[in-house]
Structure 1
Amino acid sequence: MQLNAERKSHLIYWASGIVSICGIVFEVLFGALGSYILGDGVKQYTLTISLFLTGMGIGASISEKITKNLILSFVWIEFMVALVGGFSSFTMFGVTALLPEGSESLFLYLVTFIVGALTGVELPVLIRKANDLGVALNKSTARVLFSDYAGGLIGGLLFVFLLRPELGMVKSAFFVGCINLAVALFILWMFRDEIKGYRKHGFVGIIIAILMVGGLFFGEELAFTFEQKLYKDPIIYMDESQYQTIVLTKEQGDTRLYLNGGLQFSSTDEHRYHEVLVHPVMSQVPKHDEILILGGGDGLAIRELLKYDDVKNITLVDLDPAVVELANQNFHLLNLNEGALKNDKVKVLNKDAFEYLENEKKTFDVVLIDLPDPNNESLNKLYTKEFYSLVRNHLNPKGAMMVQATSPVFAPKVYWTINKTLEATGLNTENFHVDIPSFGNWGFVMASRMPIRTDELQVSVETKFLTSEMIIGLTYFGKDEDNDIMEKGKALVLEPNTLINPHLIEKYEEAWTYY
């Protein structure tokens, strides 16, 4: 059955809409890949979107040279998008695991540019074909562009709410590549009367389809072997939640939790971290009726808090329900946290900590801030003067907070900027640090309206590491980790980190470049 020109033009509009959905998915997928593997989400999304758009511009320029066999050209463009885009995530993990450092960023940016360029060729070719079918140029351009822009919105929503949480990054890439390929084969068949030897082109498409379907079903498993090489110990659990990639490893009794590739704890020494996080601040306050934990979805801080009989209520606010669910169900984590999250005193809320504090009226005796390091914009806002001011406003008059504040050895500017930011809220602060073998030397900041007398702080519950006599020793810092930071021969004046001036991220990236 041969189609008339009008029906063919309608097929072109539908094709442009579908491939634009695929294009926007690949664009945001590359940004997500960069954010996960390379860090600094804003930087990676900015670079990938810029490269993608630049590629589209160059592709549009190249399309001027395509004046014949427009449909066949479109089909082969989609073949290439399917192959390059489909295998992008899978190959990215392989490059990261097997090739020298720096190769992954080069590969990601190259793939982003190539797919962008191919996408840039698509639309002019389709517009030109619609025009050849008798549709006026102004109408063909407007209709194809409408399909493209509308498809872009749909693609973005699909990636955020369906593809990434349900399929993950490897399967999503293969799945979207399959859609590009399906569009190409469908257009090839519907326009077969215009294409000489269309069967041989279709045969190539079928070969690509076999590769893509194989990748869809087995690519993630193979990528898992690549991912395993990124971790010291065997992976026993891996999940990609709505917010992050969660990995649990275990080797000879050492269980480790990673979020987006960053180590959260090692079971061999996490007690050092959590005892310092919890017990000094619990000694600072006269009562323990209401406790708030921001982060800490693994339940390990709650385990320490439940050692105090006078604790009445513990509210845990952690954004990702997948972490809390893992801590409640995984055998290894349950052994570590002793089922703390299931205790009747504990209430778990899966909310953004900033939004929770903005809307919550309740005040607390103790607030523990056990959040990941400020390595991106979404986390940076939880290390700002505005955020700490919100926390201050939720403290009872004699209440106190303890903040994990990264390493004063590896990142002294970051650590003391966090301290400066807390001081800017009008609170008194005291600084602590402790050696944790899996992390190195790690820092904490206690803040309260009341004076903090470290010589009066006591450990009144059973611990594995911390004693009352040790607490004051944790407040002494060596010359290379104290707040007298010198830069170019001058004393560095640190400024509070704010929402308007989030300079903490830059300091963090600079500090951890060589670690």
Structure 2
Amino acid sequence: MPLSSRQSTLLLFSVFVIAICGLIYELIIGTLSSYLFGNSVVYFSLTIGLFMSAMGVGSYASRWITRSLLGWFILLEIAIGLAGGVSAALLYAVFATTPYYHIAMVLLTFLVGGMVGMEIPILTRLSSSSEESIKDALANVLAFDYLGALIASVLFPLLLLPELGVLKTAFVTGLLNMAVVFLNLHTFRDRLRQWRQLLGVSVTVTLLLLAGTAWSFQLTSFFEMQLYEDAIIYTQQTRYQRIVMTRWGEDVRLFLDGNLQFSTRDEYRYHEPLVHPALSLTRSRESILILGGGDGLAVREILKYEDVQPIELVDIDPAMTELANSHPVILAANEGALMDPRVELVHQDAFKYLEEGAEQFGVIIIDLPDPNNESLGKLYTREFYKMVRRHLAGGGVVAVQATSPYFARETFWCIVHTAADAGFQTWPYHTYIPSFGDWGFFLATAHPIEPEAFTVQVPMRYLTPEVLAGSFIFDSDTSEVETKINTLDSQVVLRYYEKGWKQWGD
């Protein structure tokens, strides 16, 4: 019996929704893997490659489905809704409790991709059983499939991820699959021999996904508690990153995408060496630029100098600066620094800010997260430092956090060498921070300076001229090594970073 116009339209709508859900599952797996391991290019490439090849295998396998096409389609849609809906929770659980995350990721990606690949040929054959020819049916199915993928690629980063988070997005997407199932069960009830059985399974899966959606926050908290040593007191998924705060006694720590940013117990041992050498050695403190540092802790140190104004802070994530201005723990730590009238907040990518602006500054503080993905890696390239040099006023000084010369030795020296290749004179130094270990920085200028001329001009808890003088001395296992230059084209710093931290089990 040929399909009615209404039934054919529903099948095309199903293709549209399936495409949305399929791409969202890809993005969920890639995003979660990048969040847990860094190196987004590797994990997104692997996820997309596996998913597409699995679709090919599924499409080929569909040739052996010759009967009960509607029943098979609905059964596959139920299975996709279940597997995709629980995908994030399952991967989180595997990561938190076993060493087999990558095996689970590959199997889950291949499973969901294979089932999506089987559905497309089945839907094409169902559509061609109406008055449409196979040519028209294939054209319509592929058109709606590609349109759905476009919608998903916009919805996921702009709405779903920042508003729902990874786990809830997966569960909600699974429910979207189940909505397609129920629509088709209703429309094709008279054509399905196993209608009652399919309805029963659909209701069961839907209830499971609804429970997951309702408890997604608790599930996320539970899994994250397995990843962090201390009690979690705050979490937020923003458009750009996941923010987590933990507490153990008086020690509160802030993590971005799983990477420690500061501990309230010893952050002064990080921010004093980052800020004060540059402010002491510059010819002018009249205008200061901070790239990163949305927590306001570097600004707190800068505001100790009465002759400082203005301060421009560029941080891509408004949620981070809002948190720094509202959360009592961070607000107490930064002493309300971001509310000072001398501070101007700019929420923009640091690379884009330097590219578009023309203003020069007497001091530039670069307090960015470590280069563990391509978006951050570009902020450690030769091209980036050339733009920094263009924004540095005569006699000005740049100070850069550059990860650990002990844990990631090649990374540290690659960053220093890259800045030097961009035309800077560089002075690398390091210090011990209990929560971080041995941590590295460097000063960069367009003119010679004498670091020993550093003087203490404001109250400090840690840094002294003697401490700073010793910080320019590197031990045998942290001393300079030969590296390549990090560029936008190569981003070798990512490989150095992954290699360095991998040997320490991070």
Normalising by the residue count of structure 1, what TM-score does the alignment of the two structures yield? 0.96
How far 1:316 moved relative to its partner?
0.3
In structure 2, the partner of 1:364 is 361
Q: Structure 1 residue aligned with 2:342, among 329, 341, 345?
A: 345
How far 1:454 moved relative to its partner?
1.7
Question: What residue identity is the alignment partner of 1:375?
Answer: N
In structure 2, the partner of 1:510 is 499
CA RMSD of aligned residues (A): 1.2
**Residue pairs, 1:46-195, within 5 angstroms:** 46-99=45-98, 101=99, 103-195=100-192
In structure 2, the partner of 1:432 is 429
Secondary structure, counterpart of 1:319 in structure 2: coil
Equivalent-residue separation in structure 1 for 2:124 and 2:179 (angstroms): 20
**Residue pairs, 1:277-356, within 5 angstroms:** 277-356=274-353
How far 1:3 moved relative to its partner?
9.5
Secondary structure, counterpart of 2:483 in structure 1: coil
In structure 2, the partner of 1:27 is 26
Contact 2:274–2:401, Cα closer than 8 Å, also in 1: yes
How far 1:457 moved relative to its partner?
1.1
Question: What residue identity is the alignment partner of 1:140?
Answer: A
Secondary structure, counterpart of 1:387 in structure 2: helix
Q: Structure 1 residue aligned with 2:195, among 195, 198, 203?
A: 198
Contact 1:228–1:234, Cα closer than 8 Å, also in 2: yes
2:473 aligned with 1:476: yes
Equivalent-residue separation in structure 2 for 1:452 and 1:408 (angstroms): 23
How far 1:4 moved relative to its partner?
5.2
Contact 1:384–1:497, Cα closer than 8 Å, also in 2: yes
Question: What residue identity is the alignment partner of 2:69?
Answer: L
Equivalent-residue separation in structure 2 for 1:431 and 1:109 (angstroms): 42
Equivalent-residue separation in structure 2 for 1:108 and 1:31 (angstroms): 9
What whole-Å deviation, never above 9, does each CA across 1:24-63 have from its counterpart, x for those lacking one?
Answer: 1111111111111121100000000000001100100111
Equivalent-residue separation in structure 2 for 1:273 and 1:182 (angstroms): 52
Question: What residue identity is the alignment partner of 2:340?
Answer: N
Equivalent-residue separation in structure 2 for 1:165 and 1:512 (angstroms): 28
Structure 2: state its 5+ residue gaps.
Answer: none
Equivalent-residue separation in structure 2 for 1:219 and 1:302 (angstroms): 36
How far 1:444 moved relative to its partner?
0.3
**Residue pairs, 1:402-413, within 5 angstroms:** 402-413=399-410
In structure 2, the partner of 1:10 is 9
How far 1:358 moved relative to its partner?
1.0
Equivalent-residue separation in structure 1 for 2:27 and 2:490 (angstroms): 26
Stretch moving more, 275-284 or 8-17: 8-17
Structure 1: state its 5+ residue gaps.
Answer: 486-492
How far 1:308 moved relative to its partner?
0.4
In structure 1, the partner of 2:258 is 261
**Residue pairs, 1:437-456, within 5 angstroms:** 437-456=434-453
Question: What residue identity is the alignment partner of 1:364?
Answer: F
**Residue pairs, 1:177-256, within 5 angstroms:** 177-256=174-253
Q: Give the length in aligned residue pairs.
A: 504
Equivalent-residue separation in structure 2 for 1:3 and 1:139 (angstroms): 15
Contact 2:245–2:254, Cα closer than 8 Å, also in 1: yes
Question: What residue identity is the alignment partner of 2:179?
Answer: A
1:104–1:4 distance in 2 versus 1, CA, 3 Å: closer
- State the percentage of identical aligned residues: 42
Equivalent-residue separation in structure 2 for 1:72 and 1:92 (angstroms): 29
Secondary structure, counterpart of 1:430 in structure 2: strand
What whole-Å deviation, never above 9, does each CA across 1:300-343 have from its counterpart, x for those lacking one?
Answer: 00000000011011100000111111110000001100000000
In structure 2, the partner of 1:274 is 271
Question: What residue identity is the alignment partner of 2:9?
Answer: H
Equivalent-residue separation in structure 2 for 1:455 and 1:153 (angstroms): 57
Equivalent-residue separation in structure 2 for 1:33 and 1:153 (angstroms): 21
How far 1:464 moved relative to its partner?
0.6
1:4–1:88 distance in 2 versus 1, CA, 3 Å: closer
How far 1:131 moved relative to its partner?
1.6
1:415–1:4 distance in 2 versus 1, CA, 3 Å: closer
Contact 1:280–1:459, Cα closer than 8 Å, also in 2: no
How far 1:508 moved relative to its partner?
0.8
Question: After TM superposition, which residue ranges in structure 1, 4 or more long, deviate above 6 angstroms?
Answer: none
Question: What residue identity is the alignment partner of 2:483?
Answer: L
What whole-Å deviation, never above 9, does each CA across 1:79-111 have from its counterpart, x for those lacking one?
Answer: 100111000111221112122x3x122212211
How far 1:11 moved relative to its partner?
1.4
Question: What residue identity is the alignment partner of 2:111?
Answer: I
Normalising by the residue count of structure 2, what TM-score does the alignment of the two structures yield? 0.98
What whole-Å deviation, never above 9, does each CA across 1:120-174 have from its counterpart, x for those lacking one?
Answer: 0011000111122232111111111111111110111111211111111101000
Secondary structure, counterpart of 1:333 in structure 2: helix
How far 1:113 moved relative to its partner?
1.0
Equivalent-residue separation in structure 2 for 1:426 and 1:179 (angstroms): 54
Contact 1:419–1:445, Cα closer than 8 Å, also in 2: yes
Stretch moving more, 72-81 or 213-222: 213-222
Contact 2:2–2:130, Cα closer than 8 Å, also in 1: no
Contact 1:72–1:188, Cα closer than 8 Å, also in 2: no
Equivalent-residue separation in structure 1 for 2:235 and 2:2 (angstroms): 49
Equivalent-residue separation in structure 2 for 1:329 and 1:98 (angstroms): 34
Secondary structure, counterpart of 1:68 in structure 2: coil
Question: What residue identity is the alignment partner of 2:30?
Answer: G
How far 1:9 moved relative to its partner?
1.5
Question: What residue identity is the alignment partner of 1:20?
Answer: A
How far 1:191 moved relative to its partner?
0.7
Secondary structure, counterpart of 1:429 in structure 2: strand
Question: What residue identity is the alignment partner of 2:60?
Answer: S
Contact 1:94–1:223, Cα closer than 8 Å, also in 2: no
